[in-house]
Amino acid sequence: MAHNGIVLVVSVSIFRDDEVLIIRENKPTAIDKWNFPSGRIEYGEDILYSARREVKEETGFDVKLNGTTGVYNFISSTNNQVILFHFTGEVSGGLLNLEEDEILDSRWIKVNDLVKFDNEELREPRVLKQIIDNLLKERVHSISIYNEQLDK
């Protein structure tokens, strides 16, 4: 999408026991930055489907979405307005298989260790720190507030 546009994004914190998966990105706008698996919602795509698709593409995992920390509205480092829908979930299948060109590394980490990252290490640190704060304070809401897209 062109600069100064509105970009719709999904992001997922995948939990395993008391740890969450983070990935180190190698994208033109986020080289060597840590983030949760995330990506753009494609035209006509259901938000929940988009979240599961992005996780599968970036990590190889199938996920069961079970909550949301909310919707975040911010201006990105590329000067786009981003509306980000953040979900929580757990692995329901698949094997870790990082997307070759775009993901450099992954790590399972305790949520409270996420606060130790410097801003320079994180993609969009202001919004990531808001998400991390919501996770730490267990401000996670029911996924039922999202309605599946109706077929036309």
Give mean pLDDT, residues 33-55.
Answer: 96
Give mean pLDDT, residues 50-55.
Answer: 97
Q: What is the mean pLDDT of the chain?
A: 92
Give mean pLDDT, residues 62-91.
Answer: 95
**Structure confidence by residue, pLDDT tens digits, 87-130:** 999 999 999 999 988 999 999 999 999 999 999 999 999 999 99
Give mean pLDDT, residues 10-37.
Answer: 94
| The residue type at 53 | R
Q: Looking at 3-12, 30-39, 52-61, which range is the least confident one?
A: 3-12
